[in-house]
């Protein structure tokens, strides 16, 4: 199957976005993809913010993205925008690095109104850095993700819609076509 990198903008593994990333990773591994998750919160802060692309951890993250067949960009939505963590890493990618790679933006948020962050903030950012094969984004309401204290699972509606989105991602990885222009 394909190699996939998940860029996680979750502030912690226990946050709703972190739980969603874990389910995305498990779902993609379950159909045979090799999955590597880059938790931006774990990258060295000074190197990330000073745009030190020669720092070993930053360079390794960029190289992993460059080797991947597909990229999932996962972010919580705050005030109708993606996470600053996601933006920090995406800003360091060389222009065109995402060209030809299938990209699936996913997000979590507290209200249905946050879904616009995918189409009006995240997708334009991905296009601006040269992504050519961006799938329609997938959004999950926070209330459909049970917190860690409840076992960290997706409620049935969220699990079913995520499975459908990952199925589309897997099909696109099998026969990538230009989805954005």
pLDDT in tens, 134-154: 999 999 999 999 999 999 999
Q: How many helices (H) and strands (E) does the chain have?
A: 7, 6
Query: Over the stretch 70-81, which tens digit does the pLDDT of each residue have?
Result: 999 999 998 889
User: Is the separation of the CB atoms in 17 and 74 below 8 Å?
Assistant: yes
What pLDDT, on a 0 to 100 scale, did the predictor assign at position 180? 46
User: Is the separation of the CB atoms in 7 and 40 below 8 Å?
Assistant: yes
CATH of 3-174, one of 1.10.3720.10, 3.40.50.1010, 2.30.40.10, 3.40.50.360: 3.40.50.360
Going by pLDDT thresholds of 50, 70 and 90, the confidence category of residue 177 is low
Domain boundaries, the chain: 3-174
122 beta partners: none
Mean residue pLDDT across the chain: 94
Token pair recorded at residue 100: 């030809």
Kindly list the distances between the CA atom of residue 4 and the CA atoms of 24, 81, 101, 120, 127, in Å, as whole numbers in the listed order: 11, 24, 10, 24, 19
């Amino acid at each position: 199957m394909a190699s996939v990198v998940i860029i996680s903008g979750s502030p912690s593994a226990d946050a709703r976005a972190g739980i969603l990333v874990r389910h995305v990773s498990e779902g993609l591994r379950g159909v045979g993809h090799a999955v590597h998750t880059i938790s931006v919160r774990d990258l060295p802060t000074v190197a990330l913010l000073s745009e030190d692309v020669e720092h070993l951890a930053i360079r390794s993250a960029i190289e992993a993205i460059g080797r991947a067949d597909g990229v999932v960009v996962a972010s919580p939505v705050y005030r109708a925008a993606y996470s600053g963590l996601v933006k920090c890493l995406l800003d360091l990618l060389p222009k065109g690095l995402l060209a030809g790679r299938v990209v699936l933006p996913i997000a979590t948020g507290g209200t249905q109104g946050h879904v616009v962050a995918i189409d009006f903030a995240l997708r334009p950012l991905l296009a601006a850095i040269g992504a050519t094969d961006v799938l329609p984004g997938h959004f999950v309401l926070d209330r459909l993700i049970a917190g860690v204290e409840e076992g960290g699972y997706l409620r049935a509606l969220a699990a079913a819609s995520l499975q459908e989105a990952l199925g589309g991602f897997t099909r696109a990885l099998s026969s990538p076509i230009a989805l954005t222009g």
